[in-house]
Amino acid sequence: MTADHSPLPRTELAGLLTDAAHSVSGILTADYPTAASRSYLHPVLGALSAGPRVICELNDRLEGFTVDEPLPTTPAGLFTLASYASALGWLTESLAELTTSVDRICTRVGMPTEPPCSALTAPAGPEEGHGFDFSFSALELAAIRTAADAAGLAPDHYVEVLSESLLAASRLTDACMEISSGLLEDATYVLDEATDHIRLGDGPDSLPTLVRSLLARMEATE
């Protein structure tokens, strides 16, 4: 039997991007049971556990798109491949950055803790040298001390590593939201085109959303 090597229709191409977008956004809602002794890692553990699985799923789909099927030759197929590959690369980089942040947090936690300081009993003044400008209520202070005690950390050290964890989670959230929205935008573009003559010129408007975003990020860091 001769295999059917006809190009994938635009509905399937758009579906590929849409499914990928949902998988990426799903990372942000993943939960992971966190022991009280590691509560400072709770903001990142869900993504850290779900992220690698999503990357493997997206990679498998990409291989199916480029190996099991003939390489795309239509403008719509090439546009979809560029968008999908950009999303996978961006997500992989973002998960690697998250892993590095978690490793750094774990290293800090493994270091000897300093005695509790006044940072958790009164707002820290600039002269005190702490990077925090938090003013906690009595109830919040009690909760912090309880969580810090369960984690075996000084309260000020607990706030530091929890803040790093929240910052790492925020960076991944921003990346996943931009990746997901870019994939959905590209899926809509592929689906809404009346023909397969997707724009693939030399100008920036001819590129998928995620490719343009990555180029803009590269230019911003130069």
Q: What is the pTM of this model?
A: 0.79
For residue 156, pLDDT over 80 is answered with yes
More confident residue, 4 or 42: 42
DSSP letters along 70-111, please? PPP-SHHHHHHHHHHHHHHHHHHHHHHHHHHHHHHHHHHHHS
CA atoms of 43 and 188, how far apart (whole Å): 32
For residue 206, pLDDT over 80 is answered with no
Report whether 172 contacts 94 (CB < 8 A): yes
Closest of 73, 20, 23, 22 to residue 51, by C-alpha: 23
Report whether 165 contacts 172 (CB < 8 A): no
For residue 2, pLDDT over 60 is answered with no
DSSP state of 130: -
Contact partners, residue 4, CB within 8 Å, separation at least 6:
none
CA atoms of 54 and 17, how far apart (whole Å): 14
The predicted structure's pLDDT at residue 69: 60
Among 5-14, 17-26, 42-51, 158-167, name the one with the lowest average pLDDT: 5-14
Helix (H) or strand (E) holding 141: helix 138-151
pLDDT digits (tens, 9 = 90+) for 54-77: 999 999 988 887 765 666 677 888
